[in-house]
Amino acid sequence: MAKRQPQPQPPFRKSTIREYFESIVIAVVLALFIRTFVVQAFKIPSGSMENNLLIGDHLLVNKFVTAATSSALERMLLPFGEIRRGDILVFKHPDEPERDLIKRVIGLPGETLEMRAKQIYINGQKLDEPYVHFLSPPSESTGASQPDLRERYGPVTLPPGQYFMMGDNRDNSEDSRYWGYLPRENVKGKALLIYWSYDENAATLTRWDRTFRVVR
């Protein structure tokens, strides 16, 4: 009598529910990784960066480039770039870490900075700032005598690892003139682009001309 041949086992197949579950888990892990290390959304809350950034602009912040790392492994896997003058950074307020601010880098560690008649001087040289907006124009006559921090500041020399941050809307910005220097470890990332802009007072609401505009 011939022996009965064993039947081949059917190939293992995951259930549909398990496949969905694994896909969701992977998506969540990737989203958390991107949110933690790569990009973060940020909404402009005030007019301190006008006219370059407006209230209602929604930004993507590149954390991969400038976010500080806390370990050698993070520095190896997620190298951050050098902070340069003119970069627009999102950072934790030095005195209120729960608050996020966005300002432009004006002074770098080791530099001597002074403001005279609303004009910035770095190491004695006047800084060209085409992005700046003034509510009232600079005036040498008022700048020489005004104690107002909107007119005069310094000179000061920035310590190592400290940055001088200022808003583009120079007469309407709470920045390093008022709360001091920005420590490197407070930096959260560099503003990358506007992915959406919303004006609640406009007829169309969405500012389509600002969508996907690179932040400079």
Q: Please list the active-site residues.
A: 48, 103
Of 210, 212, 172, the closest CA to residue 192 belongs to: 212
Question: Distance (Å, rounded) from C-alpha 65 to C-alpha 22?
Answer: 30
CA terminus-to-terminus distance, the chain: 86
Residue appearing with tokens 């403001």: 115
3-state secondary structure the chain: CCCCCCCCCCCCCCCHHHHHHHHHHHHHHHHHHHHHHHEEEEECCCCCCCCCCCCCEEEEEEHHHHCCCCCHHHHHHCCCCCCCCCCEEEEECCCCCCCEEEEEEEECCCCEEEEECCEEEECCEECCCCCCECCCCCCHHHHCCCCCCCCCEEEEECCCCEEEEECCEHHHCCCHHHHCCEEHHHEEEEEEEEEEEECCCCCCCECHHHCCEECC
